[in-house]
Chain A
């Protein structure tokens, strides 16, 4: 790699570019070394030293890839899909930033990844908890990092997500779209893996005392979407998110004033200031259950409220039971 790189680099930076300082002594370059040139060489050597120290043996490849990524971003030379999902940014930045949290902080254990189809649409239905929707982010990472096809999960988010600056931008780029039937069905029919948290804010903002007790599962819209598109429903139980930000209290009047569903008080949150946003290091298990097939029903089944309720309950019960089993199985909350 060094040989070919020299050949490419020489026309731009003349004789200073060589990886080994010896080649720059070749007399055909003409004049002797001036002081700025020497300084530049020294700085270059220093930078190389620092890079190899922090990035390891493959630092050259990493630096080059990083530069190429930066160039792609700055020139707008990347693709986003119709819903604004930006795989380039998600894989190279967002997931890389979350991975330490996933691996070292929460030590996420993934079970039943084989229940997620290799290809084609499927609807992952999960419990929602933990004050801030970290469980969505961790599920995305869990599937992407353990699935053989490294599939991306497309989240369905509440409209509040798309009202908030920065959050809305990052959510769209990370593949989240508005939780509405139109978007869910569009993604499912195009063969995407979609995740939904039917409890919504009721699950996310429930007090710590009610941890791992599933709330009402919305109006069953997710089941109707799966029935209409004929994709399987994969129940997903997430243990650990409840302890990440235990919600002890809720400043309701202020929350109403700010137009947010709740304003949390956790053991750390207002007391430690911004540091309180650091989640507690709880131990997580994300378990994907047996898929519930919807193939047997025709598309009119979505118009049968009784069937929709039954399927909703079935999925909800599965998740609830798995949660209890996982809790017994988990040695310690932290």
Chain B
């Protein structure tokens, strides 16, 4: 169905990989990748067009190339990538508005796929355990990427209302993780000592980077309008994830967290935005029934497996699996005990 696909945000890692993946798909004839700066990575069979989404130029590109499908990946989650929070907001919100305005004018556009995030649900103690796509956030995100994502989705809904003939698919991804991606989350987990909020343990969900690309590809080449949560099966507790990274956690009392967050940001160690802090405090879970049943997509990696690929790509920290096993063996040997029933296979090194 999709023949000419326009992909936004291709100068970044996931965008370029997606453009490459799509160009190799036999169901797609042409892939046009657009971004403000030329891609650092090879785009494969995709063509690059240098366009600032915030300018009306994008509508001319759409018309000239007779684009029928738009995959909007240019919603940025990290201010550093964009060059400051103000620019990031402009790219995310104004960029989306311009792109959708152009799509609305163009009859050739038949399908729009938008990469969104589960941060639109916010994170609060009043949350249900698992959000389905129809649930409203109990506390709407007030700042940062999450607020941008909420606004972007608002414009996408408006567009879908005005162009009912266009199949609009919004994919809400849980935190992407894997051996290659770099996000605030991956930086957080690779700190030598990982700060947490004292007395709270968040439930986390992850999407593996390959699953993210495959879900976007699936949505681009198939016909499944609607909003879908995308996440690997199961959850990990924050404490559990830190332990699987072999790192010690440093719990910080909630009242001191804001100060710590600023200090970390100033030191460029990690980027704790308020919505990230509430996520790391209260956690969030999303229901993925609709993803499996209506979108027809099944992730290859569970949350735990996705995290595992990330953990094994990094050096374990002070509390590595190996050290803990050795300590256990040491103590057991000292006391002359060994539990014969503990025949569990070694999980990872």
Interface residues of A (CB under 8 A from B): 1-2, 4-5, 8-9, 12-13, 17-19, 40, 43-44, 47-48, 51, 59-61, 63-65, 67-68, 70-71, 73-84, 86, 159, 162-169, 172-173, 177-178, 180, 182-183, 186
Contacts and interface: CB of A to CB of B under 8 A. Distances in A.
B310 to A, nearest CB: 13
A4 B237 contact: no
Given A70-B328, A76-B241, A172-B203, A51 B335 contact: yes
A165 B200 CA distance: 6
Query: What 8 A-B pairs come out closest when comparing CB atoms?
Result: A165-B199, A64-B339, A76-B243, A5-B338, A162-B125, A182-B128, A76-B244, A60-B337
B40 interface: no
Contacts of B338: 1, 4-5, 8-9, 64
Contacts of B267: none
Given A5-B337, A178-B129, 11 more contacts: A9-B333, A44-B334, A47-B335, A61-B337, A76-B242, A78-B240, A82-B130, A84-B283, A159-B125, A173-B201, A186-B130
Given A9-B338, A84-B203, A183-B128, A76 B329 contact: no
A195 B334 CA distance: 45
Nearest to A14: B333
A77 B237 CA distance: 11
A77 B339 CA distance: 17
B319 interface: yes
Contacts of B335: 44, 47-48, 51, 60, 63
Contacts of A165: 197-200, 253-254
B334 A47 contact: yes
B332 interface: yes
21 contacts: A9-B332, A9-B336, A17-B334, A60-B337, A64-B337, A64-B339, A67-B328, A71-B324, A75-B324, A76-B242, A76-B243, A76-B244, A78-B240, A82-B203, A83-B129, A84-B203, A159-B125, A173-B237, A178-B125, A178-B128, A183-B130
A205 B192 CA distance: 45
B321 interface: yes
Contacts of B254: 165
Interface of B: 125-130, 132, 135, 197-201, 203, 234-237, 239-244, 246, 253-254, 282-283, 285, 319, 321, 324-325, 328-340, 342, 344, 347
Contacts of A47: 334-335
Contacts of A82: 129-130, 203, 234-235, 285
Nearest to A160: B125
